[in-house]
Chains A and B, each alone.
Chain A
Amino acid sequence: MKFAQPILKFALLIVVAVGLWIFLFPAPEKVIRKKLEKLAQTVSENPQGNISRVANVNRIGSFFHPKISINLEGFGREVASINGRGELEQMALGVRQNNFRISVRFSTIHIVVDADESNATAIVGAEVKLNEQAEPIVQDLHVRLEKVDRAWLIRSVEPAKAFKVE
Chain B
Amino acid sequence: MDAEEPSPAARSPNWLRFIYGRNPALTLVRILSLIFISIVVFKFVLLPIRVTGQSMFPTYRNGQIRFVNRLNYLWKAPQRGDIVAVEFQGKEVLLLKRIVGLPGEHFHVFNGELYINGQKLVEPYANGKVLSPNNKGLGSTREVINLGPTEYMVIGDNRPVSEGYIKDGKQIVGKVL
Contacts and interface: CB of A to CB of B under 8 A. Distances in A.
Interface of A: 107-108, 110, 112, 123, 125, 127, 136, 138, 140, 160-166
Contacts of A112: 170
A25 B115 CA distance: 48
A140 B141 contact: no
Contacts of B80: none
B24 interface: no
8 contacts: A107-B92, A160-B168, A161-B166, A163-B145, A164-B142, A165-B130, A166-B133, A166-B139
Interface of B: 87-92, 109, 130-133, 139-142, 145, 147-148, 151, 153, 155, 163-168, 170-171
A160 B130 CA distance: 21
A123 B170 contact: yes
Given A110-B171, A166-B141, 7 more contacts: A108-B87, A110-B168, A125-B89, A138-B88, A140-B167, A161-B148, A162-B166
A162 B167 CA distance: 9
B5 to A, nearest CB: 40
Contacts of B92: 107
Contacts of A165: 109, 130-133, 139-141, 164
Contacts of B171: 108, 110, 123, 125, 140
A138 B88 CA distance: 8
A125 B132 contact: no
Contact of A108 (B91, B139, B145, B165): B91
B109 A161 contact: no
B87 A166 contact: no
A163 B155 CA distance: 10
Most buried by A among B90, B140, B145, B165: B90
Nearest to A162: B166
A73 to B, nearest CB: 14
A110 B141 CA distance: 28
